[in-house]
């Protein structure tokens, strides 16, 4: 197996749900040695979240948990027990990074605040991911992915004017926060290596949206510049551009302004270049002109599949894409040729296709060395290395510590 970029990094992971686990999955998939701590008996709540293998809601069959926890060693530890906290502190001494995503009061209430842990390991990078950050009036507010999109992201301008604002799919905001936390971990580790002292990082999921790059910052700046609040836009607002029905589904095509000559080329209608309204940028911005052009475009699209339109548009280097379903994604030749989908063998579900590498490092590849851990799968390994003989593990188990 090739050496990986992060194979010299040790991570202690007390995260649950999505944002924290995706952060540590990235670190693990590029080589870091990650020990994930779960609560005895119940484990990470994402074990109880769907979808499940063969629709069987079993804690070792959650797609969400299995996807988010590849390459990690899994142990159980009750941090509410004194003995559990003692073991936790022993583990902290030997890692470079600690990632947690409890609500802000939890770690201090357990006596596991950064100041305490820093004394045990002065170079420790501690990453705290929370809904709204470690400070501020919303610190203890509850949130879901949708709540974060509403408060931090551009939900207000997502959707159409006649309807309510529209959220994104599932957990995508939390995933994004996880990647941002992984970047922050690496930034802090870079500094801590140079300086010889660690750092406590405060990631607010709300701010990963507010300072991220989707439309939010641009709209905020545009509002500062113009004084006008950005609204939801009506369908069909842009000339020769938008998502349109075609023969077998929907396809997006962008043929306005500088792309209009390409649109004309794709349609095979060179005479449109001389058209007084269609070929004029200022005229193009008028809604009635946009509507008029659709009488030409829509029939052309109706005769073609989304894949055919996409190819025709790309052959003239015009922006376009099909509206893919999950099935389209799995069957797509490009993603398959790039080996995006990977088969992972899991002791309970057997081999299943998972999403693969988010990016390819050619010298130090993304690799799956082991599937997500069964609950407490690596207790013996990890506690054994700390010097706890098997007999002690039995006692700790009986005391509800592991």
Partner 1 sequence: MAKLPLEGIRITEISVVWAGPFATQLLADWGAEVIRVESIHHFTYITRGIIIRPPKEMVNARKTWLMGYPNWDPGERPWNCYPVFQAHARNKLSCTMDLTQPKGIELFNRLVKDSDIVLENNATETMDKLGLTYEALRKVKPDIIMIRMPGYGSTGPYKNYRALGANLDESCGHTWLRCYRGMDPASATYILASDASAGACGAFAALAALRYRNRTGKGQLIDIAQVETFMPYLAGATMDYTMNERVQTTPGNRHPSMAPHGCYRCQGEDRWVVIAVSCDEEWQGLCRAMDNPDWAKDNRFADAFSRKRNEDELDRLIEEWTSQHDHYAVMFVLQKEGVPAGAVLDDRDAYNDPHLKDRGFFQEITHPDCGTHLYPGIMWKMSKTPNAIRTPPCCLGEHNEYVYKEILGISDDEYTMLEKEGHIGTEPAPGVL
Per CB under 8 A, contacts with partner 1 among 204-263 are 204, 206-208, 210-233, 235-238, 242-245, 250, 252, 254, 257-259
When asked if residue 273 is in the footprint of partner 1 (CB under 8 A), the reply is no
Nearest approach in angstroms of CB 316 to partner 1 is: 10
Nearest approach in angstroms of CB 48 to partner 1 is: 11
When asked if residue 43 is in the footprint of partner 1 (CB under 8 A), the reply is no
Determine the Cα–Cα distance for residues 311 and 184; give it in Å rounded to an integer: 39
Nearest approach in angstroms of CB 47 to partner 1 is: 14
Nearest approach in angstroms of CB 86 to partner 1 is: 25
Whether the Cβ atoms of residue 97 and residue 12 lie closer than 8 Å to each other: yes
Closer to partner 1 by Cβ: residue 55 or 398: 55
In 69-196, which ranges are continuous DSSP H helix? 82-92, 106-109, 114-120, 145-152, 172-195
Q: Where are the beta strands (DSSP E) in 131-257?
A: 199-204, 241-246, 249-254
When asked if residue 151 is in the footprint of partner 1 (CB under 8 A), the reply is yes
Determine the Cα–Cα distance for residues 379 and 397; give it in Å rounded to an integer: 10
- Kindly indicate which of the ranges 71-79, 97-105, 330-338, 380-388 contains the residues binding partner 1, using the contact rule CB under 8 A: 330-338
Closer to partner 1 by Cβ: residue 88 or 259: 259
Determine the Cα–Cα distance for residues 377 and 99; give it in Å rounded to an integer: 20
Whether the Cβ atoms of residue 30 and residue 366 lie closer than 8 Å to each other: yes
Nearest approach in angstroms of CB 197 to partner 1 is: 7
Residues within window 161-180 making contact with partner 1, judged by CB under 8 A: 163-172, 175-176, 179-180
When asked if residue 117 is in the footprint of partner 1 (CB under 8 A), the reply is no
Answer for which of 37, 91, 124, 188 binds partner 1 (CB under 8 A) is 188
Answer for which of 76, 265, 349, 379 binds partner 1 (CB under 8 A) is 349
Determine the Cα–Cα distance for residues 247 and 299; give it in Å rounded to an integer: 10
Cis peptide before 51 (omega within 30 of 0): yes
Nearest approach in angstroms of CB 398 to partner 1 is: 31
Residues within window 373-402 making contact with partner 1, judged by CB under 8 A: none
- Which residue in the block uniquely carries the two structure tokens 């073991």? 87
Closer to partner 1 by Cβ: residue 90 or 341: 341
In 3D space, the residue among 388, 291, 359, 298 whose CA is nearest the CA of residue 401 turns out to be 388
Cα-Cα-Cα-Cα dihedral sign, residues 7, 9, 10, 12: negative
Answer for which of 28, 98, 99, 186 binds partner 1 (CB under 8 A) is 186
In 3D space, the residue among 33, 30, 34, 8 whose CA is nearest the CA of residue 21 turns out to be 34
Plot region of 109 (φ>0 → left; ψ -120 to 50 → alpha; else → beta) = alpha
Nearest approach in angstroms of CB 394 to partner 1 is: 35
N residues, the chain: 402
When asked if residue 295 is in the footprint of partner 1 (CB under 8 A), the reply is no
Answer for which of 94, 103, 158, 367 binds partner 1 (CB under 8 A) is 158
- Kindly indicate which of the ranges 36-44, 103-111, 191-199, 264-272 contains the residues binding partner 1, using the contact rule CB under 8 A: 191-199
Closer to partner 1 by Cβ: residue 164 or 398: 164
Query: How many CA atoms lie within 13 Å of 394's alpha carbon, on the beta-carbon side?
Result: 3
Answer for which of 352, 368, 374, 393 binds partner 1 (CB under 8 A) is 352
- Which residue in the block uniquely carries the two structure tokens 């659709």? 294
């Amino acid at each position: 197996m090739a050496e990986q970029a992060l194979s010299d990094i040790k991570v202690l992971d007390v995260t649950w749900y999505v944002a924290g686990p995706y952060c540590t999955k990235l670190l693990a998939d590029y080589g870091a040695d990650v020990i994930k701590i779960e609560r005895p008996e119940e484990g990470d709540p994402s074990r109880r979240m769907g979808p499940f293998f063969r629709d069987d809601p079993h804690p070792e069959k959650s797609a969400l948990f299995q996807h988010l926890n590849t390459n990690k060693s899994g142990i159980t530890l009750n941090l509410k027990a004194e003995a559990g906290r003692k073991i936790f502190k022993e583990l902290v001494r030997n890692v470079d990074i600690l990632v947690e995503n409890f609500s802000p009061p939890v770690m201090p209430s357990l006596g596991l605040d950064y100041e305490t842990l820093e004394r045990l390991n002065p170079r420790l990078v501690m990453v705290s991911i929370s809904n709204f950050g470690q400070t501020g009036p919303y610190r203890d507010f509850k949130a879901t992915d949708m709540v974060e999109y509403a408060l931090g992201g551009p939900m207000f301008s997502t959707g159409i004017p006649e309807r309510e604002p529209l959220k994104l799919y599932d957990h995508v905001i939390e995933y994004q926060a996880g990647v941002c936390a992984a970047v922050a971990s690496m930034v802090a580790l870079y500094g801590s290596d140079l300086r010889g002292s660690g750092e406590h990082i405060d990631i607010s999921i709300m701010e990963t949206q507010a300072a991220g790059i989707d439309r939010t910052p641009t709209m905020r700046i545009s509002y500062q510049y113009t004084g006008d609040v950005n609204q939801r836009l009506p369908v069909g607002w842009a000339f020769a551009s938008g998502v349109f029905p075609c023969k077998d589904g929907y396809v997006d095509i962008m043929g306005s302004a500088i792309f209009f000559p390409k649109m004309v080329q794709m349609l095979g209608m060179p005479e449109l270049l001389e058209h007084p309204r269609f070929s004029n940028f200022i005229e193009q911005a008028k809604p009635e002109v946009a509507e008029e052009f659709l009488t030409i475009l829509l029939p052309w699209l109706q005769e073609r599949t989304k894949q055919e339109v996409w190819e025709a548009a790309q052959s003239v280097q015009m922006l376009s894409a099909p509206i893919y379903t999950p099935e389209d994604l799995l069957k797509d030749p490009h993603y398959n040729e790039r080996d995006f989908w990977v088969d992972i063998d899991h002791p309970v579900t057997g081999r299943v296709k998972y999403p693969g590498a988010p990016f390819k490092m050619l010298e130090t590849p993304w690799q799956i060395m082991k599937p997500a851990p069964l609950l407490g799968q690596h207790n013996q390994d990890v506690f054994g290395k700390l010097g706890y003989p098997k007999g002690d593990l039995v006692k700790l188990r009986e005391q509800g510590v592991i």
